[in-house]
Amino acid sequence: MPYALERFADYNDFLYFAERLLKSLRLSGTLQIASFHPHYQFAGSEPDAIENYTNRSPYPIFHLLREASVARAVEAFPEAADIYERNQQTLRELGEEGWRAWLAGAQPR
């Protein structure tokens, strides 16, 4: 949604209603929403916390995932649930300078 929901609070409100819509359509358990935003902020984190970058994107994105596909991926990679935690830890270790260097194509320290 490159031209909508620029404010993270608006995006988060929309996400709430999108998830309720899935539930009302009885699609919970069939589809799930993976969410990404340029200003993504995990609950309880500071806006500039490096781990927020794991869910940041150039513009607001709602990625629909099929639960069956997610289940197959978890079956193939039993530690899949830990991926987001490892991603956040990697970013904490890189720090903002290392992250920007990586984005620019440099090798992290």
pLDDT tens for each residue of 25-72: 999 999 999 999 999 999 999 999 999 999 999 999 999 999 999 888
2 occurs within a structural domain: no
Q: Model-level pTM? A: 0.79
- Checking if the pLDDT of 108 tops 60, the result is no
Report percent pLDDT > 90 for the chain: 66
- Which is more confidently placed, 80 or 28? 28
54 occurs within a structural domain: yes
Q: How many domains does the chain have?
A: 1
Query: Cα separation of 11 and 15, whole Å?
Result: 6
Range of the domain at 25: 8-102
1 occurs within a structural domain: no
- Whole-number average pLDDT of the chain: 90
Query: Cα separation of 105 and 72, whole Å?
Result: 33
